[in-house]
Amino acid sequence: MAEMKSVADNDRPLLIAEDLAKNYGRLTACCDVSFTLYPGEVLAVVGESGSGKSTLLQLLSAQLVPTSGRVNYRMRDGVLRDLASLGEAEQRFLFRTDWGYVHQDPAQGLRMAVSAGANVGERLMAVGWNHYGRIRHTATSWLERVEIDTARIDDTPRTYSGGMRQRLQIARNLVTEPRLVFMDEPTGGLDVSVQARLLDLVRTLVAELGLAAIVVTHDLAVARLLSHRVMVMKAGRVIETGLTDQVLDDPREPYTQLLVSSILPP
């Protein structure tokens, strides 16, 4: 994958999860999750329903407070901060600028009643862009980049197909050039051909922009296509972790071997 950053940046982790755990009473949603993510790396969190992967994504993006453990994130100024120590204003700012979050259902990540151009431009306006022409120009170029016909810039996402909505959600998230993007089943619910196109787009953008990403998916093919590293989860625990090709070609744990052997051959 493309790496546009300097070597110095490469050596410094972008996100460090330490012994993350989340319990709801006696129910353990996830526990003992630790890993380090470097800039430009894509990590896939793979598991079946109930594996805790979605809970983990929410913990990592500060949408849930962990029962124990810590998430440290390296801010744009280079300082490593514990997410729990950030004030609400800081967290929300982070969420709108340095991070992206792509929901499985694009309607959750878009303003459905507002035009596509405004959807893409909102984050820019939120950080103080005050020139209509420039906002619109940036929104137009992003629509092009995610292969949405720019003539539809003034249409609301209500008039878009599922695949288009998802691509719009991606544009909306990437417009502030975040360094880390969280994706929750980004291709869930889409037709196969639409999935393929979306994955190709995500692959290209991640490489071009040098994004780091954490992608939750139950689909190993998505993991193989998008990610450098994979973390396999089951019942809230990390079963196996490693480079994607390592885990998929040389699975060691029984559960991983089961998952890999369950993929239908092409």
Partner 1 sequence: MNTPAYNFAYLDEQTKRMIRRAILKAIAIPGYQVPFASREMPMPYGWGTGGVQVTATILGPNDVLNVIAQGSDDTTNAISIRKFFAKTAGVETTTSTAEATVIQTRHRIPELPLHAGQVLVYQVPIPEPLRFLEPREIETRRMHALAEYGLMHVKLYEDIARFGHISTSYAYPVKVNARYVMDPSPTPKFDNPKMDNCAALQLFGAGREKRIYAVPPYTSVVSLDFEDHPFSPYRFEAPCALCGAEDTYLDEIVTDDRGGRMFVCSDTDYCEGRQAEGHRGSQSAAPQKEAPRG
Partner 2 sequence: MPAMIEITNAEKTFTMHLQGGVKLPVVRDVSFDVSAGECVALAGPSGAGKSSILKMIFGNYRCDDGRIGIRHEGKWLDLVKAEPCRILGVRRSTIGYVSQFLRAVPRVATIDVVAEPLIATGLARETARGKAAQLLQRLNISERLWRLPPSTFSGGEQQRVNIARGFISDHPILLLDEPTASLDAANRKIVVDLIAEKKRAGVAIVAIVHDDEVRRAIADRIVDVTSFAAAA
Distance CA 88, CA 91 (A): 5
Residue 252 interacting with partner 2 (CB under 8 A): yes
* Contacts of 244 by beta carbon, 8 Å cutoff, 6+ apart: 44, 223, 224, 227, 228, 229, 230
Q: Which residue has the tokens 């991070």?
A: 99
Measured from the CB atom, is 153 or 248 closer to partner 2? Answer: 248
Q: What is the DSSP string of 91-119?
A: HHHHHHHTEEEE-SSHHHHS-TTS-HHHH
What is the 8-class DSSP label of residue 85? G
Residue 162 interacting with partner 2 (CB under 8 A): no
Q: What does 99 bind: partner 1, partner 2, none (CB cut-off 5 to 8 Å by kind)?
A: none
Residue 9 interacting with partner 2 (CB under 8 A): no
Q: Give residues 129-148 in contact with partner 1 (rule: CB under 8 A).
A: 130-133, 135-136
Angle 261-262-265 from CA coordinates, rounded to 5°: 80
Q: What does 238 bind: partner 2, partner 1, none (CB cut-off 5 to 8 Å by kind)?
A: none
Paired residues of 71 in beta bridges: 17
Residue 263 interacting with partner 2 (CB under 8 A): no
CB of 110 to partner 2, least distance (A): 26
What is the 8-class DSSP label of residue 64? S
Contact 216, 185 (CB under 8 A): yes
Query: Quick one: which of 154, 191, 208, 245 contacts partner 1 (CB under 8 A)?
Result: 154
Residue 105 interacting with partner 2 (CB under 8 A): no
Q: Where does residue 192 fall: left (phi above 0), alpha (psi -120 to 50 degrees), or beta otherwise? A: alpha
Query: Quick one: which of 3, 18, 105, 219 contacts partner 2 (CB under 8 A)?
Result: 3
Which residues contribute to the site for partner 2 (CB under 8 A)? Answer: 1-4, 10, 36, 38, 41, 196, 200, 203, 207, 225, 228-229, 242-243, 245-246, 249-250, 252-254, 257-258, 261
* Residues of this chain that bind partner 1 (CB under 8 A): 88-89, 92, 111, 114-115, 117-118, 121-123, 125-127, 130-133, 135-136, 153-154
